[in-house]
Structure 1
Amino acid sequence: MSSRNLTLIGAVVVASAGAFFAGRMTAPSGNEPASGSAGTMPGKVSSRGGAGESSETARRDGAARDAAKGPASARGEKALAKMQELMLVTDPMERSKAWLDYINTIDPAEFESVVASFRSSGLTDTRMAEYSMLLTAWAKKDPMQALAYADEHTGNRFARNTILTSWASSDPDAALRWAREHHEDEDGEGNPWLIGVIQGIAASDPARASQLLTEMPFSEERGEALAALLPHLLAQGGDAAQKWAESIADDQLKQGAIARVADALAAKDPASTAEFLIRNPGEAANRTMDDVLTAWMEQDKGAAVAYYKALPAGDARTNALRGVANSMAMENPQAAADFLDANAADANNGVYQQFVWHSFGEAPDLAVNYIGKMTNAREQERMYGRILDGWLRRDFNAASKWIGSANLPQPVQERVQRRMQEQQQRQQ
């Protein structure tokens, strides 16, 4: 198979994986998925790519399609007809193979009319892989033309970053130059076009991709770029990914990288991942150690518990306890409660809060008793409110009986009494 075909197949993998660099792939028919946004809104298209397509854009697309249907060459008409024929193929494997073969036959001059026609039929989730392949192939033939079209006719980052990814894989300097020239610096904003460039060079030149990442300011865009780069670093092995994260000078970026690497490696090698977090204390370790221990508990409870008990007193041990207790609570809330009681010296508000959430479904009467062990009054009151509201809706009689016998803080008592009265009135 040619390298060109491999590149196009790679586009399918990227698109099917859930918008590796494009964000969520959900959008109404006719629109592209918004990058890093839950939806699209009409408005001016900016380099941040947050706006959807306007009526004027739709009008221009319609004109382009009309032009394609009018004095188009016989070859162009044949290409459009072939595309429409492929849209009727229902077998996914047959359709993917035929689509790849078709894309390899498109003349550079035909791409604009083909893309316009394809987009006019609606960009559903299931068709995003084909759209990505189409843009990738166009970028291989004429990236500047493809970017000009995307800039005029699309309202978010997906198309342009897909094109940039393809372009950067063959000509990184040119793609990078375009990305920098087409971004206006704003306070707190990262260059969104670097996401595509980083994605394009990550496999062949991870060092350069890492350098581009570290040059970006703290922003949503930098987070997306990190997500695009990380799989390529993980492909080099867990040790290499850990060393890369540890080498980052920017502490904020370093913490984000450590957390993501730990999340990716926890299920594969929880012991090594836990040690990785121990070597790098900080916000990321505090946030992810419990998940690592929970993953470890699923594989080897005895080893995970032994690891927790061998840790010295401190944040790491407390965070490890949270993971152990969470795992126990989902299987046997009473056993988890007994374990917490036996290791109360390591517990804090976060440990008790997580235990309550994880045990409430199976044993609400047990879970609520541990809210009182929280020492932060504000967090305790908030937890009582949320848990007791839920319990009253789920089992009013059992919750009411517990409330009547509990020594609750006055604000909590007043709140739950109001909730009980409201629920009783609704039932009358």
Structure 2
Amino acid sequence: MKNTATIGIAALLAGAAGGYLAGKAGSSGTDATAAAESAMRDTKTTARPGATAGADASKRSPRDASEALSEPGQLARMQGLMDLYAGMSSDQLAEAAGKLEDLPMAQRIMASMLLFARWGEIDPQGALAHAATLGPGGMFARPTILQSWASTDPANAAKYFTENPGDFAMMGGFGGPGGGGDNAAGTIAAEWAKLDPEAAIAWANSLTGNNQSGALRSIIGELAGTDPTKAAQLASTLTGDDQARAYGDIAEKMASKDFASAEAFIATLPAESRDRAMSEALGVLARTDPQGAAAKIASMAEGEQRDRAISGIAEGWARQDPAAAAAWVSQQTTEDMDDAMRPVIASWAGRDSAGALTWIQAQPQGEVRDEAIGTYIWTSRNSDPQSTIQLAESISDEGDRNRSIGFATRRWMQQDREAATAYIQQSTTLTDEAKQRILEGGGRGNWGGGGGGRRGRGN
């Protein structure tokens, strides 16, 4: 099998596969996602034609998917499936696709993505026609097919997309930016840019609206790593947020090679694009030099992009020294303290739960302490439940307090429902309404008061 058959499979296993297979089988999204993530972790070894991971390269291909999946080791199973599908005709792939539902969920996720990836190379229109018979679940197979098609024959993939845009109207969350058809356009453009950037650019410029901007941004993302000057020229043709995002993509790629060059590039950008680009670049620098990245924050104006940079630096710093990262974050002024503190405490609690708790308890009342407690409760799985609830009760924000208490209660109810119920009933911190919601939910669902969940960082 050509190596292009594995392009994008990791992302698909984590996203599209979970949705497609959960929809087909009716199993929970959590189970599907967990299975997809497990399979995704094993996609990092590039396949060789005719080879089986960890085995003699002369070993014959498996007779069917069940035989391939009986091999010990995930990588060996993936290679066996790729060897199997590489030798199949379109008709044989169609027959094999009809048997996917006989497989257990995790194996079905792996096999389906590899099968559709191969099918998309040799008979993409046949694969798309089969996907159309899958009902709503077919939309999750189409991204795999389209990307495989575009990786080997982008011109015809582009022609099909132009003539049949409705086939890809539900590809939200896959490929390029935004939602809808521009994702499909972005997928084709990115693959085409690997083979022939000029032809990809010409095609992208023939499009309109979101399709055009999505395709151009995907091309820019590809060029940014190999020809940043060309990428910047192309980005200059965009406008508004599309342009700012494109410049950010270039700065990020440049920073991964040489931060000084990225910084010099950012200085040449229009003023309205600089903070976005610097935020992306600092996120990269923070992986290797978080203190150096933190020192650069002073050059950024307060606002959304500075907040993003703080969160990115905190996340990178937390991997190396969560205590130092926590101390730094606690001194920052940001509208997104939850985004900045969350990765720090999550990383710290995973390494040294007691150390993280000691730091939290030493913080004064306020947003920093509240956000740290909330994250600690969600990530520290082995804490004493009663002590955890008492910690949650000290959160000053009512909505966050009720959510954290509810989450801690769920765990306690799994261990000792009677004790957890008695504690909640006697609580002087919770309102009667909050107590009712928590107890009626049995520790499940939405326990909030005053808002719908923790905020997440936007794009």
Which TM-score applies when normalising by structure 2?
0.54
Question: Aligned AA for 1:236?
Answer: T
Q: CA offsets, 1:221-279, max 9 Å, x none? A: 976x6886566335426x35862663341322222333444455555544444444444
Correspondence for 1:19 among 12, 15, 35: 12
On the 8 A contact 2:4/2:151 being kept in 1, the answer is no
Change in CA separation of 1:106 and 1:353 when aligned onto 2, cut-off 3 Å: closer
1:147 counterpart residue number: 128
- Following superposition of structure 1 onto structure 2, how do residues 168-183 of structure 1 map, counting pairs within 5 Å? 168-183=150-165
Question: Aligned AA for 1:255?
Answer: A
2:195 match: secondary structure: coil
Change in CA separation of 1:355 and 1:370 when aligned onto 2, cut-off 3 Å: farther
- The question of 1:201 aligning with 2:201 is answered no
Correspondence for 2:328 among 333, 336, 348: 336
On the 8 A contact 1:198/1:228 being kept in 2, the answer is yes
Q: CA offsets, 1:312-343, max 9 Å, x none? A: 877799669947984599433796389x5xxx
Change in CA separation of 1:246 and 1:234 when aligned onto 2, cut-off 3 Å: closer
| Alpha-carbon offset, residue 204 of structure 1 | 0.6
- The question of 1:90 aligning with 2:72 is answered yes
On the 8 A contact 2:282/2:313 being kept in 1, the answer is no
2:145 counterpart residue number: 163
Correspondence for 2:96 among 93, 107, 114: 114
On the 8 A contact 1:356/1:370 being kept in 2, the answer is no
Change in CA separation of 1:359 and 1:169 when aligned onto 2, cut-off 3 Å: closer
Question: Aligned AA for 1:113?
Answer: E
2:209 match: secondary structure: coil
Listed as ranges, the gaps of 5+ residues in structure 1 are: 41-78, 341-346, 372-382, 404-411
2:335 match: secondary structure: helix
Correspondence for 2:240 among 240, 251, 263: 251
Comparing 314-323 with 126-135, greater Cα deviation is found at 314-323
On the 8 A contact 1:293/1:323 being kept in 2, the answer is no
2:174 counterpart residue number: none
On the 8 A contact 1:162/1:196 being kept in 2, the answer is no
On the 8 A contact 1:32/1:158 being kept in 2, the answer is no
1:203 match: secondary structure: helix
Q: CA offsets, 1:48-101, max 9 Å, x none? A: xxxxxxxxxxxxxxxxxxxxxxxxxxxxxxx99644433433344544444344
* C-alpha distance in structure 1 between counterparts of 2:371 and 2:291, whole Å: 34
- Following superposition of structure 1 onto structure 2, how do residues 212-361 of structure 1 map, counting pairs within 5 Å? 212=203, 215=207, 217-218=209-210, 232-236=222-226, 239-240=228-229, 243=232, 246-263=235-252, 266=255, 268-280=257-269, 285-286=274-275, 289-290=278-279, 292-293=281-282, 295-297=284-286, 299-300=288-289, 303-304=292-293, 307=296, 311=299, 322=310, 326=314, 327=317, 330-332=322-324, 336=328, 340=331, 349-350=334-335
1:296 match: secondary structure: helix
Comparing 90-99 with 388-397, greater Cα deviation is found at 388-397
| Alpha-carbon offset, residue 102 of structure 1 | 3.1
* C-alpha distance in structure 1 between counterparts of 2:74 and 2:309, whole Å: 47
| Alpha-carbon offset, residue 114 of structure 1 | 2.3
Question: Aligned AA for 2:4?
Answer: G
* C-alpha distance in structure 1 between counterparts of 2:197 and 2:30, whole Å: 30
Question: Aligned AA for 1:197?
Answer: I
1:421 counterpart residue number: 428
2:87 counterpart residue number: 105
On the 8 A contact 2:360/2:369 being kept in 1, the answer is no
Change in CA separation of 1:140 and 1:358 when aligned onto 2, cut-off 3 Å: closer
On the 8 A contact 1:168/1:175 being kept in 2, the answer is yes
- The question of 1:138 aligning with 2:119 is answered yes
Question: Aligned AA for 2:95?
Answer: S
Comparing 322-331 with 264-273, greater Cα deviation is found at 322-331
- Whose radius of gyration is greater, 1 or 2? 1
Question: Aligned AA for 1:162?
Answer: T
* C-alpha distance in structure 2 between counterparts of 1:398 and 1:147, whole Å: 51
* C-alpha distance in structure 2 between counterparts of 1:212 and 1:39, whole Å: 40
On the 8 A contact 1:210/1:229 being kept in 2, the answer is yes
Change in CA separation of 1:18 and 1:142 when aligned onto 2, cut-off 3 Å: closer
2:54 counterpart residue number: none
Question: Aligned AA for 1:422?
Answer: T
Aligned residues: 344
Question: Aligned AA for 1:18?
Answer: A
* C-alpha distance in structure 1 between counterparts of 2:391 and 2:126, whole Å: 68
Percent of residue pairs bearing the same amino acid type? 18
* C-alpha distance in structure 2 between counterparts of 1:306 and 1:210, whole Å: 38
Change in CA separation of 1:122 and 1:95 when aligned onto 2, cut-off 3 Å: closer
* C-alpha distance in structure 2 between counterparts of 1:325 and 1:167, whole Å: 38
Which TM-score applies when normalising by structure 1?
0.57
Q: CA offsets, 1:330-380, max 9 Å, x none? A: 433796389x5xxxxxx7553877777688866446655675xxxxxxxxx
On the 8 A contact 1:202/1:232 being kept in 2, the answer is yes
On the 8 A contact 2:131/2:141 being kept in 1, the answer is yes
Question: Aligned AA for 1:146?
Answer: A
On the 8 A contact 1:286/1:316 being kept in 2, the answer is no
* C-alpha distance in structure 1 between counterparts of 2:234 and 2:194, whole Å: 17
RMSD: 5.5
Change in CA separation of 1:247 and 1:318 when aligned onto 2, cut-off 3 Å: closer
On the 8 A contact 1:199/1:229 being kept in 2, the answer is yes
2:380 counterpart residue number: none
| Alpha-carbon offset, residue 205 of structure 1 | 2.2
Q: CA offsets, 1:153-212, max 9 Å, x none? A: 3533343333333333444333222212222499x8535543553354231123444555
On the 8 A contact 2:116/2:127 being kept in 1, the answer is yes
Bigger relative contact order (CA 8 A; separation at least 6): 1
* C-alpha distance in structure 2 between counterparts of 1:80 and 1:391, whole Å: 47
| Alpha-carbon offset, residue 113 of structure 1 | 1.5
